[in-house]
Amino acid sequence: MQPLTEMPPIRSSEITPEHVYFSRRRVLRLGMLALGSAALAACVPTTPTAQEAPGMIPRLNKRDEFGDPVNRWEEITNYNNFYEFSTDKEAVARLAQGFQTTPWTITVDGLVRNPKTYDLDDLRKFGEEERIYRLRCVEGWSMVIPWLGFPLHKLLREVEPTAQARYVRFVSAFVPEQMPGTRLLPLYPWPYTEGLRLDEAMHDLTLLVTGVYGRPLPPQNGAPVRLAVPWKYGFKSIKSIVRIELVAEQPATLWNTVAPHEYGFYSNVNPNKPHPRWSQATERRIGELGRRRTLMFNGYAQVAPLYEGMDLMQNY
Ligand SMILES: Nc1nc2c(c(=O)[nH]1)N[C@H]1C(S)=C(S)[C@@H](COP(=O)(O)O)O[C@H]1N2
Ligand SMILES: [Mo]
């Protein structure tokens, strides 16, 4: 599992609050002026750059293939589902702040010819490209997110699944000392697990994500490595992955175990298949007024051949 290091997690109380940080800079600047040295004062930046100041990251002027603009950094990193930290979407960012993501390894094993444990450096050789994907949560909201990562098939080809391998099982880190949400939900079958059929995992849209918005992935978005499967409900896009196991039978997943009648194994975005407690016909795009129509496969119609001959109303 997730290795524990000697370093304790950073407490949120140890992080300098923004107003203190800015006033310290002001005091420093005044001090420099008091020295009467114009040359020295000129070395002190008078305005914080976007990189330094949290909350001042400019909106990327990019659109997805459907013509929709990407969401703001603030939205993507402050409205999160990550139950290991909290069920409150707006509290996850703060509670995940001290989560230790280095050192980190992902073990890839099971029905493969070349099982291997990858560290973050090992993953670099697979490259990093930007993919702007829609994320549609099963709860009825959505965003457009510019991920950085590489297609999972690159890694799967390297480990060489055997002929018996038919599914891929993914496991998240489980570190209760650093994950207060898991202690509030002790009856959940932790660690968080997910699964894909092997052909879904091999599809070029299936991305292993290492960054977002041109930056490393923040803890609340599933650092250091998470999945993005854009044609499925968001809960299939498992965060903070520590193990990828090739298996013969359809694996148990957390949400399918907790509420099988509400969350199927496939969970493809499907506007015609209502959740037992709400419609899935429309969604609220974060940052927009009103609702928009939800599209079959979240708009990614190219995956339809994966499900030829399957009744997606029964086998959801
Ligand atoms: N380990 C883990 N992965 C997870 C979740 C979680 O609670 N734990 N939530 C899922 C859900 S419901 C959604 S909608 C997405 C949200 O990803 P985001 O916060 O990066 O937008 O992560 C998914 N991956
Ligand atoms: Mo979700």
- What DSSP assignment string belongs to 34-92? HTT-HHHHTTS-SS--TTTSTT-PPPP--B-TTSPBPPPHHHHHHS--BTTTBS-TTTH
Question: Is the Cβ atom of 83 under 6 angstroms away from ligand 1?
Answer: yes
Ligand 1 proximity of 95 Cβ (cutoff 6 Å): no
Determine the residue of 237, 241, 263, 298 to mutate for testing ligand 1's pocket, defined as the one with the most ligand atoms within 8 A of the Cβ atom: 237
Q: Which atom of ligand 1 is nearest to the CA of 143?
A: 21
Kindly report the pTM of this predicted structure. 0.85
Q: Check pocket membership of 294 for ligand 1, CB cut-off 6 A.
A: no
Backbone angles phi, psi at 30, to 5 degrees: -60, -40
Q: Return the ligand 1 atom nearest residue 222 CA.
A: 20
What's the confidence (pLDDT) of residue 169?
A: 99
* Per-residue model confidence (pLDDT) at position 54: 56
The domain ranges of the chain are: 12-307
Q: How far is the CA of 267 from the centre of ligand 2 (A)?
A: 11
153-173 pLDDT, tens per residue?
A: 999 999 999 999 999 999 999
Top CATH class, 12-307? alpha beta
For the Cβ of 170 lying below 6 angstroms from any atom of ligand 1, the answer is no
Residue 192 CB–ligand 1 contact under 6 Å: yes
Residue 53: per-residue pLDDT: 53
Summary mean pLDDT of the chain: 87
Instruction: Kindly give the distance from the C-alpha atom of residue 100 to the centroid of ligand 2, in angstroms, as a whole number.
Output: 23
Atom 4 of ligand 1, nearest CA residue: 238
Q: Which of 169, 239, 280, when mutated, tests ligand 1's pocket best, judged by the most ligand atoms within 8 Å of its CB?
A: 239
Confidence category of residue 55, pLDDT binned at 50, 70, 90 = low
Model confidence pLDDT, tens digit, residues 302-316: 999 999 999 999 989
For 229-244, what is each residue's pLDDT tens digit? 999 999 999 999 999 9
